[in-house]
Structure formats: structure tokens, C-alpha cells
Chain A
Amino acid sequence: MTQQLDLRRLPAVGSFLRRLSADRPARAVYVALALLIVVGWLLFALDGGRFLSQENIVGIQQRSAALGIVAVGQTLVILAGSLDLSVAYLISLTTLVAAETMGGADAGVPVAVAAVLAVSATAGLVNGLIVTRLRVHAFIATLGVALVIRGVLDDRYDGPAGSVPESFQHLGYDRVGPLPVSALLWAAVAASAWFLLSRTRLGCRIYAVGGDAEVARLSGVRGERVVVAAHVLCSLCAGIAGLLLASRLGAGAPTVGTDGGYDLESIAAVVIGGTALAGGRGGVAGTVGGVLLLAVLDSIFNQLEVDSFAKDVVRGVVLVAALAIHARRRTA
């Protein structure tokens, strides 16, 4: 009996490990992450302090959850050869949609979640259609959508609005054992995306369209649908991140997305994770590593109380270095 189970499981596990270890860029990120943790640990050990206490880890997980979820979505569009610059404003918008629909009442939660998902799916659909039908480059298309959303936000809100019932705040602050719920949510989103990319037709086609749209077309892939689907999924991820942030803040905030820099940070995390900006190569595993790398870096800075200028400089250097390393490893 047990033997039978083993036999059925082994190939699946084997194929998972094989694919993960074949994903060389992702491996590189995790090596870098491990090195960074060792460096951080040494720094604090010399100082007599402790790096990566449990609080610390929880802090890292919580901070990175929202960015992580957005970055997973960003991975999908980038793999498909596109890009999404509208996620930051969309996040702000969805926190407001969530908080206003809930209006502090428990009964409003399901409606609010549905409304957020609907709003973000629509934004993704618009992005995708502009990119595919109107053939506007994703950079401009999603920037345009971002500006439109900003217009709505500027026009209608000057500050936080709406409110989130206590029951919904569990999402942002609760833990299951040592793990924050938000981190679990991130893990779930990442795992779904990984599954989508490796085990579904849509996943195969995202890689194909991003790799070479003409080759995909000649092979019978309807590339436009694939790109639209990727954009919808990306915006849904932004919506989920918006829900998470609303639950943390207890209200909707018109600047939470842009303050967090979720647009450029998510793209940075994706490329640090080894996904090619031109599309067709990379994956979610690398992105998760990229997000964690940025988060650990942040937490080292916070503990060392580095000023924000030095912080930005180092982050910039890390980003460029990561790209250079991936490029080198590819040609080697």
C-alpha cells in the first residue's frame, strides 16, 4: 500500500526537483540569498546582537507578502513578453474599493472581495486589450492605464477612506503557528502561479508567446488571448495585494500603492529572480527568491539604521549586479 503511494509520488517529486534544479537563474538567486543571510548574521554576531530572530523573520515575511504577490503577477506578464506599470495605482484603488464596500461591516466582506477582483480583472483586461488589439507597447499601454487610475484617485480622494471590519484585519496580522497568514497567502499565490506555468497549457503558451510571438503563432497558438490572460492574472494579483494592504491599514489609502513603489519594485524582484525582461525565460521560483532578497536587505538596513539614501544606492547596485550576473551566466 505505502509502496504504491510512493511509486505514484516519486515521479512527480522527481520532476519538480529536476525542473527546479534546471532553473539555473533561480538557483543563483537562492545562493545570493543564503550569502546575504550569512553576511547579515555575521554583522550582528560581531555586534553582539541577533539577526533573524523570530520577530525579525515574521517582519520580513509580512513586509514582503504584498510585494511578493504583486511580483508573482508581474512574472506572468513579463514571461509573456509584456509588462505592467499600472499595478501600484491599481493597488491603491483596490484598497479603497475594499474598504468602502465593507464600510466596517462583516457582512460587506464577501461583496468587497468580489468587487476588488472584478475591478482588478477589468483593469487587466483593459491592459491586455490595449497591448494586443491596439498594438501599443506594454510600457505605454499600462502607463496610460496607470494615469487614468491616478486621475480617478486624485479626483475622488484626498486621504484614507472607508473602513475594514475587525474580522477582516485577521488577514493582515494573524499567524498560524509561526507563520503570518499573509505569508501563507503569498505562498499560495506563488504555488498557484508555479503550477499554472508548469502544468497547464496556458503556462506553456505564456513561455511560447514571450519567447517568440511569431513562432508561437506559426505553431497555432493564439498569442493575443495568452497575453490578455496574463494581464488579467497579473491585475488579479495586484487586487489580492490590495486586499491584504487594506486589511493591514484598516482603511483604503489612495497612495499606499505608489508609496510602496510596487510597480518598479515588483519588476526589480522579477529580474533579480532571473526572468528575462524580454520574456520567455524564467519563472516564479526566481521571483520569490528576488523578493526575499530585497526583504532581507531591507531588514539588515533597518537593523543597522542605515539612512535611506545609502539604502537606495545599495538596492540599485544589487539590481544592476543581479542583471549583470544573469547575463554572464547565460553567455558562459
Chain B
Amino acid sequence: MHDCVLKMTGITKSFQGVRVLDGVDLEASAGEVHAVVGENGAGKSTLMKILAGAHAPDGGSVEIDGRTVVFGHPVQAQRAGVAIMHQELSLLPERTVAENVFLGREPVRRGLVDRAAMESATAELLDSVGEESFGPRDLVRRLPVARRQVVEIAKALSLNARIVVMDEPTAALAEHEAELLHTLVRRLASRGIAILYVSHRLREILDLADRITVLKDGSRVTTADASTMDAPTLVRLMIGRELDSYYPPRAAEPPGPVKLSVRGGGNARLRGIDLDLRAGEIVGLAGLQGSGRTELAKALFGAAPFTSGEMTPCRPCSVREGIAAGIGLVTEDRKAEGLLLNQPVRDNALLVTRATRMRRPGIERLLERVGLGPLRPTQEVRLLSGGNQQKVVLARWVAAAPRVLLLDEPTRGVDVGAKAAIHELTRELARDGTAVLMISSELPELIGMSDRIVVLRDGRIAGALPAGSTEESVMRLAAAS
């Protein structure tokens, strides 16, 4: 009934002698949403990059519309009708949105780049995905991470491809934005485009996908109709064991002394912030994109300090002061702000402890704690899978053992198994007396983890909710006008 657009057979790939993909088969039909799932490092992105011509496979074949293709360069994949949104954002910060969308395919008229056409086409694309907060002429550098994702989407759409690959497109998006994307995905599929969709969000996969392929350690475990799958089965196939409850139990005893408190904190983006973080307590910070959650975390840390208000024990004016005061921040944009990509895992994990001459914990135990156990500490971070990079950032702060830990989207792009491990770890740190502030765009996670939820709106605190509040009540507070 369906025509098979894509057929990948027996794909193998090794990096420096380590086998990453081992005889993987993958098919997609016109109009199908085909989800690809698996743990961090299972080889999903590598498989997608092979399809997009960014890596050459060591073995196996790729057929598009029944014809065998060999891509030596991404441009050939584009011409064959493959568009890809890479997991790590691939945009040029110094160029405009339009220039990024049409990079490599700038429309020309009489030999010259037709900027007007480029900008109006970009405006249309942005329109079609419901984006209003920026325009084609804005510099990408000025957009927040989640908005950059939209630029990637527009770029993939502009190719008019027959096969669209999305590698964790919703990782940086909030719930309602993810829903916009889902609508878009369905619309593309109804136009007869084959979509390969990589994600760690099981709910959206079960919602969206027609078929699901599970990868584990570089091999295909199964491909099955989504209708025959449910979340527990999927988890078992992915990580090879059952995962009973997602969220660790909350602390039994009431929170301890206040470790950090702000009164009337303000700067260019924030106003009148009153906030107490207590030992043993996990405070969830909710809010829409642009409500100032990241700005608040940065202000507490000293990276973008408060310019007014009181803060105890001290108001850090720089990151150094923040760290000295025992505050740690796991940033949301790991590539730009979090990691030294060309350095080994070990140096990245020990960066803070080293810079501040703190005592160094055993590196193996540290990596074990954040779920990076099987990794060589000398591996360059650049070569790690996306989710594992995230764990390295976390390891750094676990090593530093701060008194106050700020987590900005700590589980972005992390697989379900590791996510549970990070939740467990966070709870354990809180139990040991750390005050934790956690930002997450995934409301179920935020609600499941937090002892108290503080909601931001337009740079102000809109209110606080107790543990176990519903998603609706959080959203109502976040969006009220």
C-alpha cells in the first residue's frame, strides 16, 4: 500500500576501531512518521548522519526510491531529497535568519543573491510554523536556544525534501511549542513526506509515530507498528530492563536552613525577585519561553548578575564569585556555554574543581554517578553522543559539590534510563543538604521532581505552587495576563 521511499540495509560504521553501528536496517514509506529510539550513544545520530551524507558508512547500502545512492558530501543528500535537522544546532550565529535558512542554496536572480526573495520566503516559512517573535533579518546570535530550533525547522522545510530527518527536534522546546511542531510533522506526513523522528520523549513518540525502530548498542532491536507498543515495552526494549517509577520519592522531613535568598532582585530582564532556596529542597522553576527562567539562574550564579536587590549570603557579580559562594549552574546551552569540546571528558568534568583548587574526587566514581560509567575518561567530549555530553556537564558540578545547585534543563536530550539516574542523583544531592533549583520545559518532570514550584512570568515571580500541583494550574499561572 505504501511506497517505500527509503531503504537502508546492513549499515555498519566504526569510529577509530569502535563499532557504533552494526548491520542496521531502516525503512521509511511516503507519508510515514518513523520514530528511531534508543539510549544515549545507541547510534541514532550516526545513522541519521549517514543518511544525510555527513558520514560515509563502512558497509551497507542506502536506496532512495529504489535506486542505490552513495553520498560523498551532504550537498548530494540534499539533492537526492533528504533534509536533516541535526541534534546539535548547526547555525551560524553571526548571520541572519534568512541567510541561515538558505545557506548553500541562496536564491539568485541574474547571478546575484536575491535577498528580497530570500527574506520573503523565510518570512513565509516562519509564518507556516507559527513563529512571530523574530523575523528573517534578525541575527541568529540574538535568538534564544529554543527559537534557534525554529530556524532549523524552517531550514529543513525550505529544502522541499521527500525525506525529512529530525534528530531530537523537541529537546529544546517547551510543551506548547513541541505541540506546534507535532502539528507540523503531521502536516508534512500528510503531504507524502517520509519523516524520520529521533526523540527521547516517549509520550510524543507513541502519539506521533506510525512505526518505531529501537536501536541498542548499534544494532536494531526491532521495528514495530506504534499501535502495538506502549511506554513500558519501549523502555524495556531500549534499556534492557524494567523501569518502575520515573521519579524518586520526595524527602520525608521538612527542608533545612535557607542556603540562598534574594529580596527584590532585579536586572534588565528580571524584576522584584523574592526567592529562598533551602537545604534539602528541590524548587522547580516554571514559565514560558522568554519568561526569564534562564536569566534568573544566571543572575543567581553571577553570570548575568542582579543589578539591584539583596541577596544572602552574597550577591555574586561574577561567575568566580558565584562559584566561590558555593553556587553551581548546569547551563542549558551545553555546546556554547558548558563544554570544552576538544578536551577529554576528564578535564571537562574536573574543570571547576581544578579552577578553584577543590579536592578532586575519583574520576571513575564520578562518571559512574552521572551514568557515564562505561566511558573512557580520555575521550574527547566532541565525539560523545548528545546525551552523554549533557552528563559530562552534570558531572562537573557533582564533583564541585556546591551548596546551591542550579539546573537549567538538566535532562535535555538524555535517554529515559539516564534521566531516571539523573533524577535519582538530584534527589540524593538534595538529601545530602544541597539546595536545588531546577528548570525544565517538560512539565511532568518538573512536577514530579519539585517540592515546590515557582512560576515566572515576564521576568517576575507570578506565584508559587505546592508539590503535586497539576500541569493545568502551572500553565494557568505561567500564561495568565
- By a beta-carbon cutoff of 8 Å, the part of chain A in contact with chain B is 11, 15, 198-201, 203-205, 207-208, 211-212, 214-222, 280-281
A211 to B103, CA, bound (A): 12
| B103: contacting residue among A11, A203, A216, A222, CB under 8 A | A216
A11 to B119, CA, bound (A): 13
Q: Does B224 lie at the interface of the complex (its beta carbon under 8 Å from any beta carbon of A)?
A: no
A214 to B90, CA, bound (A): 8
Q: Decide yes or no: A218 and B113 within 8 Å by CB, A201-B106, A201-B108, A204-B106 being known contacts.
A: no
Complex interface: stretch among B24-32, B71-79, B292-300: B71-79
In this complex, the member of B78, B90, B92, B113 whose beta carbon has the largest number of chain A beta carbons within 10 angstroms is B92
A219 to B74, CA, bound (A): 7
Closest to A215 in B: B90
A215 touches B91 (CB 8 A): yes
Q: Does B111 lie at the interface of the complex (its beta carbon under 8 Å from any beta carbon of A)?
A: yes
Q: Mark B84-96, 1 if CB is under 8 A from A, else 0.
A: 1010001111110
A200 touches B86 (CB 8 A): no
Nearest chain A CB to B441 CB, angstrom units: 25
Q: Does B236 lie at the interface of the complex (its beta carbon under 8 Å from any beta carbon of A)?
A: no
Mostly helix, strand, loop or mixed at chain A's interface? helix
Q: Does B116 lie at the interface of the complex (its beta carbon under 8 Å from any beta carbon of A)?
A: yes
A220 touches B115 (CB 8 A): no
Closest to B73 in A: A222
Q: Does B20 lie at the interface of the complex (its beta carbon under 8 Å from any beta carbon of A)?
A: no
A198 to B52, CA, bound (A): 29
A221 touches B103 (CB 8 A): yes
| B115: contacting residue among A15, A217, A222, CB under 8 A | A15
Q: Does B99 lie at the interface of the complex (its beta carbon under 8 Å from any beta carbon of A)?
A: yes
Give every chain B residue within 8 A of A217 (Cβ-Cβ).
54, 73-74
Q: Which B residues from 292 to 333 make CB contacts under 8 A with A?
A: none
A200 to B114, CA, bound (A): 9
Instruction: A204-B106, A217-B73 are known; give 15 further A-B pairs, CB within 8 A.
Output: A15-B115, A200-B112, A204-B103, A205-B103, A208-B95, A212-B90, A215-B90, A216-B92, A216-B104, A217-B54, A218-B86, A219-B74, A220-B78, A220-B105, A280-B94
Nearest chain A CB to B261 CB, angstrom units: 30
A200 touches B111 (CB 8 A): yes
Q: Decide yes or no: A207 and B92 within 8 Å by CB, A222-B73, A222-B75 being known contacts.
A: yes
Q: Decide yes or no: A219 and B111 within 8 Å by CB, A11-B116, A207-B92, A211-B95 being known contacts.
A: no
Closest to B105 in A: A220
A214 to B52, CA, bound (A): 14
A290 to B58, CA, bound (A): 50
A215 to B116, CA, bound (A): 24
Q: Decide yes or no: A212 and B92 within 8 Å by CB, A204-B99, A204-B106, A219-B103 being known contacts.
A: yes
Q: Mark B164-176, 1 if CB is under 8 A from A, else 0.
A: 0000000000000
Give every chain B residue within 8 A of A204 (Cβ-Cβ).
99, 103, 106, 113
Q: Decide yes or no: A211 and B94 within 8 Å by CB, A216-B104, A220-B75 being known contacts.
A: yes
Closest to A214 in B: B90
B92 touches A211 (CB 8 A): yes
Mostly helix, strand, loop or mixed at chain B's interface? loop
Closest to A212 in B: B92
Interface size class of B (residues with CB under 8 A): 20 to 34
Nearest chain B CB to A223 CB, angstrom units: 10
Q: Mark B137-175, 1 if CB is under 8 A from A, else 0.
A: 000000000000000000100000000000000000000
Give every chain A residue within 8 A of B94 (Cβ-Cβ).
207, 211, 280-281
Give every chain B residue within 8 A of A11 (Cβ-Cβ).
116
- By a beta-carbon cutoff of 8 Å, the part of chain B in contact with chain A is 52, 54, 73-75, 78, 84, 86, 90-95, 99, 103-106, 108, 111-113, 115-116, 155
Nearest chain A CB to B455 CB, angstrom units: 32
Nearest chain B CB to A56 CB, angstrom units: 38
A134 to B103, CA, bound (A): 26
Give every chain B residue within 8 A of A214 (Cβ-Cβ).
90
Closest 4 CB pairs of A and B: A220-B75, A220-B104, A211-B92, A219-B103
Give every chain A residue within 8 A of B52 (Cβ-Cβ).
218
Closest to A209 in B: B92
Closest to B118 in A: A204
Nearest chain B CB to A273 CB, angstrom units: 16
Closest to B112 in A: A199
Closest to B94 in A: A281
A28 to B73, CA, bound (A): 40
Nearest chain A CB to B341 CB, angstrom units: 11
Closest to B104 in A: A220
A280 touches B113 (CB 8 A): no
A-B contact pairs, 21 of them (CB 8 A): A11-B116, A199-B113, A199-B115, A200-B113, A201-B113, A205-B104, A207-B95, A208-B92, A211-B92, A211-B93, A211-B94, A212-B92, A215-B103, A216-B103, A218-B54, A218-B84, A219-B74, A219-B104, A220-B73, A220-B105, A221-B103
Give every chain A residue within 8 A of B90 (Cβ-Cβ).
212, 214-215, 218-219
Q: Decide yes or no: A221 and B95 within 8 Å by CB, A200-B112, A201-B106 being known contacts.
A: no
Q: Decide yes or no: A215 and B92 within 8 Å by CB, A205-B104, A221-B104 being known contacts.
A: yes
Closest to A201 in B: B106
Give every chain B residue within 8 A of A220 (Cβ-Cβ).
73-75, 78, 103-105
A199 to B103, CA, bound (A): 13
A283 to B278, CA, bound (A): 51
Closest to B119 in A: A15
Closest to A207 in B: B95
Closest to A276 in B: B94
Give every chain A residue within 8 A of B95 (Cβ-Cβ).
207-208, 211
Give every chain A residue within 8 A of B111 (Cβ-Cβ).
200
A220 to B158, CA, bound (A): 13
Closest to B139 in A: A22
Give every chain B residue within 8 A of A216 (Cβ-Cβ).
92, 103-104
Give every chain B residue within 8 A of A200 (Cβ-Cβ).
111-113
B92 touches A218 (CB 8 A): no
A171 to B75, CA, bound (A): 45
Closest to A217 in B: B74
Give every chain B residue within 8 A of A203 (Cβ-Cβ).
113
Closest to B78 in A: A220
Give every chain A residue within 8 A of B115 (Cβ-Cβ).
15, 199
A203 to B78, CA, bound (A): 21
Give every chain A residue within 8 A of B54 (Cβ-Cβ).
217-218
Give every chain B residue within 8 A of A198 (Cβ-Cβ).
113
Nearest chain A CB to B145 CB, angstrom units: 15
A166 to B91, CA, bound (A): 54
Closest to B96 in A: A22
| A218: contacting residue among B74, B93, B99, CB under 8 A | B74
A203 to B99, CA, bound (A): 11
A281 to B189, CA, bound (A): 38
